[in-house]
C-alpha cells in the first residue's frame, strides 16, 4: 500500500540550517524549508530569488533532507509557501514526525487548512508594502495563542496604520504581535520609541540573521 505522501512534490528554493532570526523563536537553531514562488511583490522583499527556479523534491526527499540537520525546529517559508498545493501536506508530515513547526505566510492566502499544530506567523501587509489589498482578514479567525502576527513597517505612516488595525481587531488578545522595521527604510530605534510612547502591547522585532550575516542567502 502506498503512503499518503506518495506522489506529492514541491518546488524547493533551498533547505538550510541556521538560527531563527525572527519571531519569538529568535536565536533557536532551525531548519528552514524555503518554497519557490510568491503571488505578491512587496516593496521590501529580500527573497526575490525564491520567486522562480528551485528544484522539484518529493515529500519523502524533503523529509530526508530535514533529518540531516541537528534540530527539531523547522520553519517553512518562501516566497509564499501556501501558494504550492502540497504545502499543507508537508506541514502535516513534519508535525507527524515530531518536529516543532512554524509557517511564515503573507496572509494573502487562506490558512484554514494548515495543521493546528503548526505555529503560523501571519504577515499583515501595510500600505507601504504595496500589497495591502491582498490581506485576507478572515485569516484572523484561524489564529491560535501559539500563532504570531507580524507587521513589517516602512515608515511612520505604516506605524499609524498598524495602530489602527490593532484598535479595530483585538489582535494582542489573540496572540503575540510583532512590529518589525523594514531594513534600510525605518530605524529600529525610532520604532522602539513610538511603541514606548504609545504604550503598545507589541514586541519589537529586529532581524537577528541580518545583524549576524547581512543579506547572505542560506542564512
What CATH number does the domain located at 9-213 have? 3.20.20.70
Q: Bridge-partner residues for 29, per DSSP?
A: 19
Buried b (16+ CB within 10 A) or exposed e, 183-217: beebeeeebeebbeeeebebbbbebebeeeeeeee
**Three cell numbers written together for 196:** 514606548
Question: What pLDDT score was predicted for residue 1?
Answer: 41
State the pLDDT at residue 210.
81
Give the CA dihedral 121, 122, 124, 130, nearest 10 degrees.
90
- Give the length of the chain: 219
Question: How many Å from the N-terminal Cα to the C-terminal Cα in the chain?
Answer: 39
- This prediction has a pTM of 0.93
What is the predicted pLDDT for the residue at 6?
A: 60
Residues 23/9, Cβ–Cβ less than 8 Å: no
Q: C-alpha cell of 198?
A: 504609545
Give the number of other Cβ atoms within 10 Å of residue 125's Cβ: 20
- Is the bond preceding 9 in cis, omega lying within 30 degrees of 0? no
| Cα-based distances in Å from 34 to 143, 152, 187 | 22, 19, 27
Q: What is the pLDDT along the chain (219 residues), one digit of tens a residue?
A: 445 556 899 999 999 999 999 999 999 999 999 999 999 999 999 899 999 999 999 999 999 999 999 999 999 999 999 999 999 999 999 999 999 999 999 999 999 999 999 999 999 999 999 999 999 999 999 999 999 999 999 999 999 999 999 999 999 999 999 999 999 999 999 999 999 999 999 999 998 888 887 777 876
Nearest to 166 by CA among 192, 193, 129, 140: 140
Q: Residue 75: in which H helix or E strand, if any?
A: strand 73-77
**For cell 523534491, what's the residue?**
57
H or E segment and range at residue 168: helix 156-168
CA distances from 59 to 31, 69, 124, 142 (A): 15, 16, 29, 26
Strand bridging mode 203-204 / 176-181: parallel
Helices and strands per DSSP (H, E), number in the chain: 6, 9
Amino acid at each position: 500500500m502506498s503512503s499518503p505522501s506518495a506522489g506529492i512534490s514541491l518546488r524547493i528554493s533551498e533547505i538550510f540550517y541556521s538560527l531563527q532570526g525572527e519571531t519569538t523563536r529568535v536565536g533557536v537553531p532551525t531548519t528552514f524549508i524555503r518554497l519557490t514562488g510568491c503571488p505578491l511583490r512587496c516593496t521590501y522583499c529580500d527573497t526575490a530569488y525564491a520567486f522562480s527556479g528551485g528544484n522539484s523534491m518529493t515529500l519523502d526527499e524533503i523529509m530526508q533532507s530535514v533529518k540531516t540537520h541537528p534540530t527539531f525546529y523547522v520553519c517553512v517559508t518562501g516566497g509564499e509557501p501556501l501558494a504550492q498545493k502540497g504545502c499543507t501536506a508537508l506541514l502535516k508530515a513534519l508535525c507527524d514526525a515530531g518536529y516543532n513547526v512554524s509557517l511564515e505566510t503573507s496572509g494573502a492566502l487562506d490558512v484554514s487548512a494548515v495543521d493546528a499544530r503548526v505555529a503560523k506567523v501571519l504577515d499583515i501587509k501595510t500600505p507601504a508594502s504595496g500589497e495591502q489589498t491582498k490581506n485576507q482578514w478572515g485569516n484572523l479567525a484561524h489564529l491560535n495563542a501559539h500563532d504570531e502576527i507580524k507587521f513589517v513597517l516602512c515608515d511612520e505612516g505604516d506605524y499609524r496604520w498598524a495602530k489602527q488595525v490593532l484598535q479595530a481587531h483585538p489582535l494582542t488578545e489573540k496572540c503575540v504581535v510583532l512590529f518589525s522595521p523594514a531594513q534600510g527604510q525605518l530605524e529600529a530605534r525610532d520604532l522602539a520609541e513610538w511603541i514606548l510612547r504609545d504604550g503598545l502591547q507589541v514586541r519589537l522585532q529586529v532581524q537577528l540573521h541580518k545583524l549576524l550575516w547581512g543579506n547572505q542567502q542560506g542564512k
